[in-house]
A and B are shown apart, each in its own frame.
Chain A
Amino acid sequence: MTEALALALPEAAPARRARVPERLVATVLVAGLCLILVLILALPLGTLLIKSLEAPGGGFAGLSNFRTYFATPTLVEALVNSLAVAGITVAVVVPLAFAYAYALTRTAMRFRGVLLALALLPLFAPSLLSGIALTYILGNQGFLRGLLLGHSVYGPIGIVIAECLYAFPHALIILMTALALSDARLYEAAAAMGTGRLRTFATVTLPGARYGLVSAAFVVFTLVVTDFGIPKVIGGQYPVLATDAYRQVVGQQIFPMGAVVGLLMLAPAVLAFCVDRLIRRRQSALLSARSVPYEAKPHPVRDGLSLAYAGLVAGLIVATYGVAVWASFIRYWPYNLGLTLDHYDFAAADSDGWTPYGNSLVMAGAVAVLGTGLVFCGAYLIEKLKVFSAGRAVAQLLAMLPLAVPGLVLGLGYVFFFNAPWNPLNVLYGTLALLVINTVAHYYTVAHVTATTALKQIDPEFEAVSASLKVPFWQTFRRVSLPICLPTVLELAVYLFVNAMTTVSAVIFLYGSGTKLAAIAIVHMDEAGTTASAAAMASVIMATALGARLVLALVNRFVLARAQVWRRREGTA
């Protein structure tokens, strides 16, 4: 240090402004967050619960609705069907996805990046699209219907195949995460002791991925039980819980029975949620800070077989969705295979024309902007401010709740809560605003967890340093936390946008005459028999969702990389 410097540091003019009561502001914000979450989550779900105990004509009925449900064979049949379809899907998808995840994470096969991207394709389309594609491939006019040996695709067969396609990326992501959490040292230790490949797989790989397998099974099961789109399109006369709930509420207006079905769907989801929580706690303990990530060495035979398998699976996924897109350009399947854009003139198939797509864009845009703002600010309040800990705990609990609540159940709750005559908020019913609110609530948890993870990686002492420098937390949020988390914020916005574009299950109960969404238009066009237009609309949605993802990739690559020079040496620091 420079010795010569004269060091009577002058007092840096403490021209203090009247101090804003920081703690008060923070407390009010946390309370506001709690209020919002109660309004958009707790109250609708509470109403659903109460509704299930109500007699059809009003008044308290206790558990009699449940008794009626289980005494009605047709209703119980839907329950059994749902469980059977979900069980079979789990049995098929989880092993397939595990092998795929293994090929991606534990082998040195080529094209891993491309194969991962292709397998994630179903995430960008409404679930119905796989059902629509199957009608073209295996349906009455399908070019491969001979493969079914005379069985109809409309029913359990079609549902299971379509659900497998739809659920595959969800299982894949979970299993890849589980397999990526592996310690190379364990493999080196096993090899040093002369352990064979099979034994290593059974004693090191499988135990490490065990929790991931359980978690994937539960997630797939829940997805299938609560999915509405696929059974609607390809289920034929085969009743399942999701279509039953829709029929009870929208068709027959028997609200309490709809609530009962909704609660039945909630059961596996809540169970999955609890198991997942339990697993996560243990999984984290598996990997210590000293672990070294596993990197596969080239092994020609294994890598070749992996590539063949992964190529086949990815090919099937892409081909199925490709058929749906292709079919949307076909004049008259399968008799006139000439190409046309006629099916994209939606006005011919549905009186609303392109309006639903416009609605979807506005809705998804609003969800992306408002949802990201709410989720990120909420996560910041919960994670970084040390005030009003009871309020923060409540907010955290509510933020995790949507993960256990299928969209259809949340949608039912919204119907009962926001359509109730006693509720002053019922003016929102049928408006685009309510669709936005519902979609934000529906996808809150994943976004919240992502935001929280990013915020946790920021030094927890930033707020303390700011306080010591007399800088209020909102300035630190604006100048430091938000810029650091910008990539995550953009990621959240795209996640919310894509899901808002593709979701059907919750919003199907909530749209109004002028606020029909594109994904709902698909259901209607498919119902009306204009399947090609349905496929066309689904293709437009998929293209939009993929476009959003592409824009994000470009922004990350060219804008953020340049603007955020300070990240560059982060790896070595």
Chain B
Amino acid sequence: MTQRDATPFLTVSGLSKRYGAFTALDRIDLAIGRGEFVCFLGPSGCGKTTLLRLIAGLDRQDEGRIGIAGRDVSHAPPAARDFGIVFQSYALFPNLTVAANVAYGLVNRRLDRARIAARVAELLALVGLPEQGDKHPVQLSGGQQQRVALARALATSPSLLLLDEPLSALDAKVRTRLREEIRHLQKRLGITTIMVTHDQEEALAMADRVVVMNRGAIEQIGTPGDIYRNPATAFVADFIGAMTFLDATVGAARQLRVGAVDLVCEDGRGFVPGSPVRLGFRPEEIRVGNVRPTDVNAFQVRVRSLEFLGAFTRARLEPSLDLGGSLVADVSANLHGDLALTEGQYLYVSLPPAALRAFPVAARA
């Protein structure tokens, strides 16, 4: 992870934006450290792009303040905020050559031609497109165009890089490669970066910290490992990775009653005994092989269906005792081979107490 200053580079406090009756952002507070790579992650309409555009100054907030590098830029025009931006559509100027695109922001700064040319060459080499300066954008592939857009955004050495779904328009293979490259470049330059994405895999792979958003509010901020392992809300748990939810009631001493079964759960969270909760666990956390009926949280299930997904097989399991729903378990290809699972088969599975998470019912999204 990148080294960070103690004082945040970017601060957002109480930021709100409404479009008529629709609240796009509701009192957002956020601090981002210098050199950090932060992803805004959430479903479409969650406000992540709105938040990015407010930070850039492309739209104006109704309330709240934005500070960049200790300066209050709440009402500053975009040009006074010192950032570079890359859009999903690349937004390259089609009538200008690649070199002219990259030099677009430099020409305005009264640098002499030689210095501009040198800088453009340096940037094109940086994004892996040396010698392509004389081409026009239409002659490049989507991935190459996005690299040019990145070079253009970095040309003026901004202190902040904003990426608005930069990879969404690209093929899966190109996307994976480019995301590694962007991350690599960001680390080397140490530039503070915010990326908006709706792709959780992208966010987990790239970010130092992920800001999960829903309905104009922040659900959770944390490292990728953090939000995956310890989701703060049922929404985050469901949005990041897959999760099976069951209705449960809190019993005494780390006990949860699910349907006709009592389960041991380590996730206390101070629920009052007797109160209803949502119990969640991830498909890969259900133990399928070598489970004895006497193990903790073990019960019998019937395999209802199997879905082959390559590296693993997703099994839908029907508990023999009523649990108020069926379970989904991911079984790795190896284990699947050892167990020789078939549809209709009966077997024992267990839910490790550490894997069970309880969420308040109200937070159900």
- Give residues in A with beta carbon < 8 Å to B: 1-2, 5, 7, 9-17, 19, 22-23, 386, 459, 461-462, 464-472, 475, 479-480, 483-484, 564-570, 572-573
Closest Cβ of chain A: how far from B167's Cβ, in Å?
Answer: 16
Q: A14-B156, A465-B91 are in contact. List 4 more A-B contacts (CB 8 A).
A: A468-B79, A472-B79, A480-B96, A573-B137
> Residue B346 at the A interface, CB < 8 A?
no
- Give residues in B with beta carbon < 8 Å to A: 56-59, 77-80, 83-85, 87, 89, 91, 93-96, 104-111, 119, 122, 125-128, 130, 136-139, 152-158, 162, 181, 184-185, 188-189
Q: Which of A2, A12, A484 contacts B94 (CB 8 A)?
A: A484
**In the complex, what residue of chain B is closest to A17 when comparing beta carbons?**
B110
Evaluate contact between A468 and B158: CB separation under 8 angstroms.
yes
**In the complex, what residue of chain A is closest to B80 when comparing beta carbons?**
A19
Would you list 9 pairs from A and B whose C-beta atoms are within 8 A, ordered by A residue? A22-B77, A459-B91, A461-B89, A465-B85, A467-B79, A468-B85, A471-B105, A566-B138, A570-B138
Residues of A within 8 A of B105 (CB): 468-471
Closest Cβ of chain B: how far from A393's Cβ, in Å?
Answer: 15
Evaluate contact between B77 and A23: CB separation under 8 angstroms.
yes
Evaluate contact between B189 and A480: CB separation under 8 angstroms.
no
Evaluate contact between B185 and A1: CB separation under 8 angstroms.
yes
Q: Which of A12, A475, A484 contacts B157 (CB 8 A)?
A: A12
Residues of B within 8 A of A22 (CB): 77, 79
Closest Cβ of chain B: how far from A22's Cβ, in Å?
Answer: 6
Evaluate contact between A7 and B109: CB separation under 8 angstroms.
no
**In the complex, what residue of chain B is closest to A4 when comparing beta carbons?**
B125
Q: Which of B59, B77, B83, B127 contacts A1 (CB 8 A)?
A: B127
Residues of B within 8 A of A567 (CB): 94, 138
Which are the 3 A-B pairs with shortest beta-carbon distances? A469-B105, A467-B78, A566-B136
Q: Which of B58, B83, B125 contacts A5 (CB 8 A)?
A: B125
Q: Which of B58, B79, B125, B153 contacts A470 (CB 8 A)?
A: B79
Evaluate contact between A461 and B87: CB separation under 8 angstroms.
yes
CA distance A1 to B110 in the complex (A): 29
CA distance A289 to B132 in the complex (A): 33
Residues of A within 8 A of B91 (CB): 459, 461-462, 464-465
Evaluate contact between B83 and A468: CB separation under 8 angstroms.
yes
Evaluate contact between A569 and B108: CB separation under 8 angstroms.
no
CA distance A14 to B57 in the complex (A): 20
Residues of A within 8 A of B57 (CB): 467
Closest Cβ of chain B: how far from A169's Cβ, in Å?
Answer: 33
Given the known inter-chain contacts A22-B79, A570-B138, please indicate yes or no for A480 contacting B157, CB distance below 8 A.
no
Closest Cβ of chain B: how far from A571's Cβ, in Å?
Answer: 9
Evaluate contact between A13 and B95: CB separation under 8 angstroms.
no
Closest Cβ of chain A: how far from B308's Cβ, in Å?
Answer: 30
Evaluate contact between B138 and A12: CB separation under 8 angstroms.
no
Evaluate contact between A479 and B108: CB separation under 8 angstroms.
no
Evaluate contact between A5 and B126: CB separation under 8 angstroms.
yes
Evaluate contact between A16 and B109: CB separation under 8 angstroms.
yes
Evaluate contact between A467 and B58: CB separation under 8 angstroms.
yes
**In the complex, what residue of chain A is closest to B53 when comparing beta carbons?**
A464
Given the known inter-chain contacts A12-B157, A23-B77, A469-B105, please indicate yes or no for A1 contacting B184, CB distance below 8 A.
yes
CA distance A475 to B181 in the complex (A): 32
Residues of B within 8 A of A9 (CB): 122, 154, 157, 189
CA distance A569 to B294 in the complex (A): 69
CA distance A96 to B310 in the complex (A): 62
Closest Cβ of chain A: how far from B19's Cβ, in Å?
Answer: 13
Residues of A within 8 A of B126 (CB): 1-2, 5, 7
